[in-house]
Structure 1
Amino acid sequence: MPAISTKGLAMPESPIRKLVPYAEAATKKGKNIYYLNIGQPDIKTPKVALDAVKNNTLEIVSYSHSAGFESYRKKLANYYQQRGIPVNADDIIVTTGGSEALLFTMGSITDPGDEVIIPEPFYANYNGFATASGVKVVPVKASIENSFALPPVAEFEKLISSKTRAIVICNPGNPTGYLYTKEEMDELSALAKKHDLFLVADEVYREFAYEGATHHSVMSQKGLEENAIMIDSVSKRYSMCGARIGCVVSKNKEFISTALKFAQARLSPPTFAQIASEAALETPQSYFDDVINEYVDRRNTLIEALEKIPGVRVAKPKGAFYCIVELPVENADDFAKWLLEDFDYNNETVMIAPAAGFYSTPNTGLNQVRIAYVLQKENLIKAVQILEEALKVYQNN
């Protein structure tokens, strides 16, 4: 039998999606599942985006430019400029989701055996993207004790070696919901410049900053033009996860020209999804105001309910729509499977994402889960009630 590659065998499973077979089996048994595991918003996609596709009169669905529609990139640049991010259309490459933007970035700034430093827990697929590129993730551990604030920059500096190529952050954070302060961004920027590293910021949750907090983009950091790379996506901002449109942004011309070669190799981003994404830029601010208010209500509802469960600890997020929850269990992976296979409360159960997959340090976060508060408040209340009853039964087993 032909052998599978070492890289393929090392590719990690998604902690978000690997339990899907268990959920499918539970559904076939007639259980109703509250999905807390995945960041799929139930917020409606802006009508202007849907109408742009429904009412389109294209007769040939042709390739676009490898960097994406020029009209879309110009409008994107205007969107960023209105938010204090000084970029133009030539600084942007449209990608097939933020995932492809990250892959293009890894391919453009690293060689096999190189290293990137990432504060953990982090978006689980960073592990996958690094594995696909032959890159080693060097983690800096953040703590639930201070809601996963940026670890001291001195801890990052200790880990910088001749193989280090970049520091990667997610701001606001997935899975923590942490929002970096201006001071923290300044510290990271100074470190990147000092050691001539790239600072890669995944900013797909930019619009979701709560209680009047300000999001500080890596692209707005003065003097960091050659070091800064921004990853973005329409998935969460416009509740368009299935469109698979993102972008990579940088003022570094050599980086952009290199990333464009990767873009040319995959030909072009999808045409209809670009049409929808370009139209989505016309979404009024009132849409985002309503969405943010909704997520704040959901967050507060979830946190209040979780904090009432004995032995549960939760970090209150300042952005995005996730939180890390510490449970009174030894292994959240086993608990998550048990919830789907062996437990129900009035024929209902919940699906959660074990948090160990959001770390690269082995045997870390074993008693933690990520919860996405993308359900309506009444469903979040039901889901937490089910979780509380499940913990009672599980602890007595």
Structure 2
Amino acid sequence: MPTISKKGHLMPQSPIRKLVPYAEKAYKQGKTVYHLNIGQPDIKTPEIALNAIKEFSLEILAYTRSEGSESYRMKIAAYYKKNNVQVTHDDIIVTTGGSEALLFAFGSIMDADDEIIIPEPFYANYNGFSTASGVNIVPVISKIEDNFALPPIEEFEKLITPKTKAILICNPGNPTGYLYSKAEIEKLAAIVKKHDLFLIADEVYREFTYDGNRHYSIMEEAGLENHAIMIDSVSKRYSMCGARIGCLVSKNKSVINTALKFAQARLSPPTLAQIASEAALETPQSYFDDVISEYVERRNTLIEELQKIEGVKVAKPKGAFYCIAELPITNSDDFAQWLLEDFSIDNETIMVAPAGGFYSTPGVGLNQIRIAYVLKKESLVRAVHILKEALKVYKN
């Protein structure tokens, strides 16, 4: 019988999606499931983006350029300039979601067995992207006690070897909601310049910052032009996860020219989705003001309710729409499955994401879950009540 590749065996399952069969079984049993497990916003996609597709007429749905349509890239560059990021359309490659942008970045700067340092917990698919690219993640652990702030820069320096090619951060962070400060970015900039490394920043949640905090992009940092690679996406910003449009941005021409070869190999990003994404750039600021206000209220509601549960520790997010909660249990994978299979209150239960999959260090995060506060406040209150009661039963 033909065998599966070693890479295929090593490819991790999504900690977010692997519980879907249990949720589907719960549905069939007539249960209501509150989804705290996935970052799919319930915020409506801007009408201007949807109308662009409805009103677009064509006879042939053709390829676009491999790097994305010129008009879209020029408008993205204009959007960045409004946000103090000075780039041109030639510094941008449009990708099929931020995921493809990360794969292009990994493929462009690293060879098999090269190393990339990532503060953990991190977006679970970084594990998958590294496996697919044949590179090794070297984790540096951030702690819930520190609200998942950047670990001391000395901890990064200890991990740098001749195989180290890059440091990767998510800012604001998924799954922690942590927002790196300008001072923290400056520390990272200094170390990548000192050791001649790349600094990759996944900035797909850049719009989602709270409490008066401002997002500071690595592309704003002077002297980092040859080191900085920014990853972006329309998925969360405009609640357009299904569009699958992202981009890779860098002022390093060798990076862009190399990534373009990967882009050419997959031909082009989706044409209709680019049309919608280009239109979305005209979304008024009032849309974001309303969205941010809603997420602040949801965050505050969630954190306040979680803090009422004995034995639960939670970090307060400064951005994005996730938080990590530490529970008085030993195995959140087992707990998350049990919630769907064996527990309900008035035929209602919750679906959470076990946090172990957001680490690459074995055995870390097993008593933690990631919660996405993408539900209405009333639903969040109900979901946390279910969690509180579930913990009582589960521990007994």
Same fold (TM over 0.5): yes
Is the partner of 1:291 in helix, strand or coil? Answer: helix
Number of the residue aligned with 1:21 = 21
Number of the residue aligned with 2:297 = 297
Aligned-partner Cα distance in 2 for 1:142–1:287: 33
Number of the residue aligned with 1:335 = 335
1:1-397 correspondence to structure 2 within 5 Å:
1-396=1-396
Aligned-partner Cα distance in 2 for 1:328–1:339: 15
Name the amino acid aligned to 1:373: Y
How far 1:59 sits from its partner (Å)? 1.3
Name the amino acid aligned to 2:323: C
Deviations 1:44-65 (A, max 9, x none): 0000000000111111100000
Aligned-partner Cα distance in 2 for 1:32–1:323: 23
Runs of at least 5 residues in structure 2 that lack an aligned partner in the other structure: none
Name the amino acid aligned to 2:7: K
Is the partner of 2:26 in helix, strand or coil? Answer: helix
Is the partner of 1:350 in helix, strand or coil? Answer: strand
Deviations 1:17-42 (A, max 9, x none): 00000000111111100000000000
Name the amino acid aligned to 2:228: A
Name the amino acid aligned to 2:384: V
How far 1:332 sits from its partner (Å)? 0.5
Name the amino acid aligned to 2:302: L
Cα RMSD for the two superposed structures = 0.3
Aligned-partner Cα distance in 1 for 2:221–2:356: 32
Is the partner of 1:262 in helix, strand or coil? Answer: helix
Name the amino acid aligned to 1:215: H
Aligned-partner Cα distance in 1 for 2:354–2:117: 22
Deviations 1:193-219 (A, max 9, x none): 000000000000000010110101011
Runs of at least 5 residues in structure 1 that lack an aligned partner in the other structure: none
Name the amino acid aligned to 1:220: E
Deviations 1:295-335 (A, max 9, x none): 00000000000000010010000000000000011100000
Aligned-partner Cα distance in 2 for 1:315–1:58: 49
How far 1:83 sits from its partner (Å)? 0.5
Aligned-partner Cα distance in 2 for 1:16–1:69: 33
Aligned-partner Cα distance in 2 for 1:32–1:11: 32
Aligned-partner Cα distance in 2 for 1:381–1:14: 27
Name the amino acid aligned to 2:336: A
Aligned-partner Cα distance in 1 for 2:26–2:327: 22
Is the partner of 2:229 in helix, strand or coil? Answer: strand
Deviations 1:152-202 (A, max 9, x none): 000000000000000000000000000000100000000000000000000
Aligned-partner Cα distance in 1 for 2:383–2:60: 46
Aligned-partner Cα distance in 2 for 1:212–1:273: 32
Name the amino acid aligned to 1:344: S
Aligned-partner Cα distance in 2 for 1:64–1:232: 19
Deviations 1:239-277 (A, max 9, x none): 000000000000000000000000000000000000000
Is the partner of 2:248 in helix, strand or coil? Answer: strand
Determine what percentage of the aligned residue pairs are the same residue.
Answer: 73
Aligned-partner Cα distance in 2 for 1:376–1:180: 27
Aligned-partner Cα distance in 1 for 2:210–2:195: 33
Name the amino acid aligned to 1:64: T
TM-score, scaled to structure 1: 1.00
Aligned-partner Cα distance in 1 for 2:176–2:270: 31
Deviant stretches of 4+, over 2 Å: none
Aligned-partner Cα distance in 1 for 2:58–2:14: 37
How far 1:146 sits from its partner (Å)? 1.0
Is the partner of 2:294 in helix, strand or coil? Answer: helix
Name the amino acid aligned to 2:351: M
Is the partner of 1:362 in helix, strand or coil? Answer: coil
